[in-house]
Structure 1
Amino acid sequence: MLTTLFVALAISAVFAGVPSPEESKRLMDHFSDAEHFKNEHHNKQFDHDAFLGEDQAKTFDQLPPEESKRRLGIIVDKIDSDKDGFVSLVELKDWIRYTQRRYIDEDVERHWRQHNPNNDGEIPWETYRKNVYGFMDDMDQSDMNEPNSEGYTYANLLKRDRRRWTQADGDHNDALNRTEFAGFLHPEDHSHMRDIVVLETLEDIDKDKDGKVSMEEYIGDMYKPEDGEDGDEPDWVKQEREQFTGYRDTDKDGFMDEHEVKDWIAPPEFDHAEAEARHLVFEADSDADEKLTKAEILDKYDLFVGSQATDFGEALARHDEF
């Protein structure tokens, strides 16, 4: 069961550059802010984001079905690298990795330009702090010490960014070059930053701040009954409780510590791109030959790209690609 690992902070970005709720989420091999399964039901938006990249998925969401299919056909021709008329598991896996890499590179470039308009070799911490959190200099200190206040939330975001910055700063000069800055923005994509991702996950899920994750905190991160909902929990929630007891809590003390959280969100030898590719092949492979024709993919276009609009909306697409 793939779940949202980070709870979005319910704050308003009142200053340019302050992390939005979406930007505060971090995942190992992050494909999407959407959950792959939501309250027992498969969420196709996760597949759209994984297959297209999040920015491109938003574009396709504005297109009518026929245009989505036309553009998907062009993408299929690109994925079929050996031009044999089929999309193999390897080709699909390579494409998913490519879209993820493209999304990260473009995100890093956008933020690098924002915080470093002169394209200097490095961004000092104080420059980043002033750009993102400078508005806090005028805030009442007492507000930042008041739990559940907006100031308190921003103060914790600043502390988290400071810790992540220090971890990303390989030469310890309190300034980040572009490679180090990429690790700061996307720690899930850099092996030396993954302990930070684990720590941030633990902190976000650990509501009582005792340094470990109880079963109720684990379940509460992925399942929240809707208002007025009562009765038995869905079967998948019961299965997750069994997963926690049987597999997540390896030392059987009733909690997940930092090491157990790491095994959960970053299992060794697990290839997220391959897992997503296998899922897409399984869903679309109508003749069960373990490879996809263009017709099979177009027949399941809603799985790969979807379409939520009845008209074009804004034309956000990259015209050179389509």
Structure 2
Amino acid sequence: MLDSLRVMQLYTFLVVLALCATTWCSAIPKPDDDHKKRVYDKKLSDQQHETNGFHNADYDHEAILGRDDAKDFDQLSPEESKERLGKIVEKMDKDKDGHITELELKEWIKYVQDRYVIKDTDDRWKEYELGSNNLDWENFKKRTYGFTEEDLAPNDERAVYKEMIVRDKRRWNKADLNKDSLLSKDEFIHFLHPEEAEHMRDIVVMETMEDIDKDKDGKVSLEEYIGDMWRGDTEGEAEPDWVKGEREQFSSYRDKNSDGLMDHDEVKDWLLPSDYDHSKAEANHLIFESDKNKDGKLSKEEILDKYDLFVGSQATDFGEALKTHDEF
């Protein structure tokens, strides 16, 4: 019987492949649920940054607050949102000069992202009730799956999980930097969130390609790329505009050598671009949208005037007031 941790893993594949056993990373969303299963890059939110060419305010919402606190803010009235946002602004303002610079905003967004990763790891770590400072593979495997490979008979219905165990083990070995077959808490962070560590990035690429590359030729075709995002729920259904946009993205940007396929390096550039800083880009966007006097920085008043941009979810109506007020 799989424990509750495994059930959550099997619900969706939040890190990199549809059937990986360790699905606890942040993911990049796409319009269908199947696509919300792997990490494409170090995004700040589980929301799309743009939808049909329009900026998605929910992305800003999560980038500023974090995933869990963003949900809490959705329950606040506009007045309460502004009050709590004001307290956050004071924390952003490191030098206490009354203005939020691009650097301060960028550092706050990075802090929120790091906090999510650390909290997620802390929550998982506690579930193993360790008597030492390290987690061993057999303990992880037994606790996660409730059985080992040796327990599986050829016709055992649990045999489907064998591939998951193999892939978990490969990621485990990559995260185990000192090769002692144990994971420290720092190594466990890399295991759960491989997109956060340079030495884990090839695992992110490998797992993603294994999932998308249906014909197993070691490359991702346009059909595989689009098919992973959209399958069309109804026969004869017209292709949405966003899918047409993705086709153009593939041809113009993803497939750099124009051979109709994405190889390992091209997939890596897609998933983990080295020349793009999400925190900086988001900070620039928020300043551009909120900087009323165009001085290149934000006052508390300018931020509160645009409180809906920073904390107002467009997807959820304001409801009951939040009961706890100490998340920050």
Q: TM-score, normalised by structure 1?
A: 0.83
**Residue 158 (structure 2) pairs with residue 158 (structure 1):** no
Determine if the alignment matches structure 1 residue 132 to structure 2 residue 144. yes
- Aligned amino acid, residue 135 of structure 2: I
Of 47-56 and 124-133, the range deviating more from structure 2: 47-56
Quick one: which amino acid aligns to residue 107 of structure 2? Answer: D
C-alpha distance in structure 2 between counterparts of 1:216 and 1:253, whole Å: 13
Q: Does 1:17 align with 2:5?
A: yes
Question: Which of 164, 176, 183 is residue 176 of structure 1 equivalent to?
Answer: 183
How far did residue 246 of structure 1 move?
A: 2.6
1:309, distance to aligned residue in structure 2 (A): 4.0
Counterpart in the other structure of 2:284: 278
- Corresponding residue number in structure 2 for 1:7: none
Counterpart contact for 1:69–1:301, Cα < 8 Å: yes
CA-CA distance at 1:27 after TM superposition: 4.2
- Which string of whole-angstrom CA distances, capped at 9 and with x for unpartnered residues, describes residues 205-244 of structure 1? 323333211112223344555647844641x543432332
Alpha-carbon distance in 1 for matches of 2:230, 2:63: 22
Matched residue, 1:238: 244
Give the 3-state SS of the residue equivalent to 2:195 in structure 1: helix
Q: In the alignment, what sits opposite 2:305?
A: 299
Residue 289 of structure 1 deviates from its aligned partner by 2.8
Q: CA deviation at 1:301?
A: 1.8
Q: CA offsets per residue over residues 48-84 of structure 1, 9 Å max, x none? A: 2211111211211222222111111110111112222
For 2:134 and 2:5, locate their aligned partners in 1 and report how far apart those are by CA, in whole Å. Answer: 18
Aligned equivalents of 2:139, 2:116: Cα separation in 1: 25
RMSD after superposition: 2.6
Partner Cα distance (1:232, 1:104) in 2: 36
Q: Is the 8 A contact 2:2 2:146 kept in 1?
A: no
Task: Give 1:320 deviation, angstroms.
Answer: 6.6
Amino acid at match of 1:289: D
**Number of residue pairs matched?**
300
Q: 1:205 to 1:277 in 2, by over 3 A?
A: farther
For 1:68, the equivalent position in structure 2 comes to 81
**What's 1:9 paired with?**
none
Contact kept, 8 Å, 1:121 with 1:177, in 2: the verdict is yes
Give the 3 Å change call, closer, same or farther, for CA 286–143 of structure 1 in structure 2: farther
1:231-271 CA-to-partner distances (Å, cap 9, x unmatched) read 4641x543432332232212222110111101112222321
TM-score with structure 2 setting the length: 0.81
Distance 1:151 1:240, change over 3 A: same
Say yes or no: does 1:79 pair with 2:64.
Answer: no
- Counterpart of 1:289 in structure 2 is 295
How do 1:1-322 residues align onto structure 2 when only pairs under 5 Å count?
15-18=3-6, 19=9, 20-21=11-12, 22=14, 23=24, 25-118=38-131, 120-135=132-147, 141-142=154-155, 152=160, 154-223=161-230, 225=232, 227=234, 230-231=237-238, 233-234=240-241, 236-307=242-313, 308-312=316-320, 315=323, 317-319=324-326, 321=328
SS at 2:146 equivalent: helix
Taking the aligned partners of 2:81 and 2:234, their CA distance within structure 1 comes to 36
In structure 1, what is the Cα distance between the partners aligned to 2:260 and 2:135? Answer: 44
Query: Which residue does the alignment assign to 2:32?
Result: none
Which runs of 5 or more residues in structure 1 are unaligned?
Answer: 1-12, 145-149
1:89 aligned partner, one-letter code: E
> Structure 2: 5+ residue runs without aligned partners?
15-23, 25-36
Q: Tell me the SS of whatever aligns to 2:205.
A: helix
Tell me, in whole angstroms, the C-alpha distance in 1 between the residues paired with 2:297 and 2:320. 32
Quote how far apart the aligned CAs of 1:127 are.
0.1
Identity, % of aligned pairs?
Answer: 48
Letter in 1 for 2:91: K
Paired residues of 2:291 and 2:302 also in contact (CA < 8 A) = yes
User: Retained in 2: the 8 A contact 1:64–1:309?
Assistant: no
Between 42-51 and 225-234, report the one with greater CA deviation. 225-234
Letter aligned with residue 5 of structure 2? G
Q: Structure 1 27/242 Cα, relative in aligned 2: closer, same or farther at 3 Å?
A: closer
- Structure 2 CA distance for partners of 1:239 and 1:122, relative to 1, 3 Å: same
What is the CA–CA distance in structure 2 between the aligned matches of 1:219 and 1:174, rounded to whole Å? Answer: 38
